[in-house]
Amino acid sequence: MTFRTAARPTTPEADIRAWTDQSALRSGRVMLTPDLLALAQSGATILLAARTAEGRPTSAAAAACRALSPTRLRIIMSRGAGKPVIDALREGSRVAVTFTGSNQHHRAFQIKAETAVITPARPEDMPEIERQGLLFCEGLAEIGFTKELAAGWLFADTEDMIAVEVEPERIFTQTPGPGAGAELRP
């Protein structure tokens, strides 16, 4: 996967600086900055977590992300592979989503929200699954994965897709290094 590259990582401090610079015009609302929106839609590794009805943590990987606006992300994932997370979200679980750049020097962030909305996948989601999938594979190839390995991880049945829409309420830098996990506050 993506965080084991030899490339020099960006730092959590750099994330916080970029956040501050790009947040100057915003007014107290949690909005994703342009660079985070770009990262989320760049073929990143997208991971979700939720709390099951039994009170246990569970996780899933998603296939793509579309930013509907700076305050709303649409995450497209396999219904079958993501079932425990989807079920948990339907039961009212809170949600966490981490985006890790596939070729952006380990850069990563996590969003958290009280709720998420589950919707069927739409035709306009499909080109993004393909585009981001290709970027993801390119990122893996850069760090030495074979095409077979990258495609194996990525494999997605487009007939089986579902979407999770999230409005981020808190954002955290998850780029490795001192300060990792720091909240990016509005």
Stretch that binds another protein, among 29-37, 63-71, 96-104, 126-134 (CB under 8 A): 96-104
Residue 42 contacts another protein per CB under 8 A? no
SS3 119: strand
How far is 65 from 42, CA to CA, in rounded Å? 9
> Does 98 contact another protein by CB under 8 A?
yes
- Report in angstroms how near the CB of residue 91 gets to another protein at its nearest: 11
Q: What is the DSSP letter of 124?
A: G
Please, which residue, 59 or 119, has the CB nearer to another protein? Answer: 59
Three-class SS state of 177? coil
Residue 94 near another protein by CB under 8 A: yes
Check residue 95 for interaction with another protein (CB under 8 A). yes
Q: Min. distance of Cβ 27 from another protein in angstroms?
A: 25
Does 186 bind another protein (CB under 8 A)? Our answer is no
β-strand partners of 90: none
In angstroms, rounded to a whole number, what is the distance separating the alpha carbons of residues 156 and 62? 9
Structure tokens at 109: 């962030």
Query: 146-175 mask for another protein (x: CB under 8 A)?
Result: x--x--xx-x-x--------------x-x-
Give the DSSP per-residue string, 46-87. Answer: EEEEEE-TTS-EEEEEESEEEEEETTEEEEEEETTTTHHHHH
Cα–Cα nearest to 154, from 136, 179, 127, 172:
136
Cβ–Cβ < 8 Å for 126, 163 = no
Give the residue, chosen from 74, 145, 161, 162, that forms a contact with another protein under the rule CB under 8 A.
145
Check residue 59 for interaction with another protein (CB under 8 A).
Answer: yes
Would you tell me which residues interact with another protein (CB under 8 A)? 1-7, 45, 47-51, 55-61, 78, 80-81, 83-84, 93-98, 100, 110, 112, 143-146, 149, 152-153, 155, 157, 172, 174, 180-181
